[in-house]
Amino acid sequence: MSVKPQDEFDRKAWLQEQDLTHLETIYLKILIYFDTRFRLVDYLEMMESLYYKANLQMPKSHTEQYNLDNKFWYWYPLYSLGLLTLLAYIVAAVSGALLGLYYAPSAEGDPSTAYSQMIFIMDELDFGLMLRSIHRWAAQFMVAAVFLHMLRVYFTGAYKEPRELNWVIGVILLILTIAFGYTGYLLPWNQLSMWAGQIGLEMALASPLIGEWLAQLMFGGFEVGQPALMRMYIVHVFLFPFIVTGLIIVHIGIVWMQGIAEPH
Partner 1 sequence: MTDDTDQTRTDGSGPNIVPPDDETPTWHERKERSEGLSRVTYEYFERGRLEDQRLRQDSDYIERDVLGFPTWPHETIRNLSIASFFVGIIIALSATLPPHFGDEADPSVTPEIIVPDWYLYPAFGLLQLDPINPELALLGGEKLMSDELYGIAATTVVIGVLFIYPFVNKGSARRPIEEPFWAAVGMGGLMFGFTISVLSIDQIVADRMPGLTAPLIFDLTLLLPLVTAFITYAVLKAMQEGYMYELNRRYYRLRPPR
Shorter beta-carbon distance to partner 1: residue 44 or 129: 129
What distance in Å separates the CA atoms of residue 233 and residue 101, rounded to the nearest whole number?
A: 13
The CA distances from residue 256 to 241, 246, 248, 252, 261, in Å, are 22, 15, 12, 6, 11
What distance in Å separates the CA atoms of residue 139 and residue 184, rounded to the nearest whole number?
A: 9
What distance in Å separates the CA atoms of residue 205 and residue 178, rounded to the nearest whole number?
A: 20
Say how far residue 173 (Cα) sits from the centre of its chain: 16
Shorter beta-carbon distance to partner 1: residue 229 or 237: 229
- Beta carbon of residue 221, minimum distance to partner 1 (angstroms, whole number): 13
Shorter beta-carbon distance to partner 1: residue 111 or 246: 111
Q: Are 57 and 205 in contact (CB under 8 A)?
A: no
Q: Which residues contact 262 (CB under 8 A, 6 or more apart)?
A: 62, 66
- Beta carbon of residue 257, minimum distance to partner 1 (angstroms, whole number): 15
Shorter beta-carbon distance to partner 1: residue 4 or 60: 60
- Beta carbon of residue 47, minimum distance to partner 1 (angstroms, whole number): 23
- Beta carbon of residue 183, minimum distance to partner 1 (angstroms, whole number): 11
What distance in Å separates the CA atoms of residue 253 and residue 247, rounded to the nearest whole number?
A: 9
Shorter beta-carbon distance to partner 1: residue 112 or 244: 112
- Beta carbon of residue 157, minimum distance to partner 1 (angstroms, whole number): 4
What distance in Å separates the CA atoms of residue 169 and residue 244, rounded to the nearest whole number?
A: 10
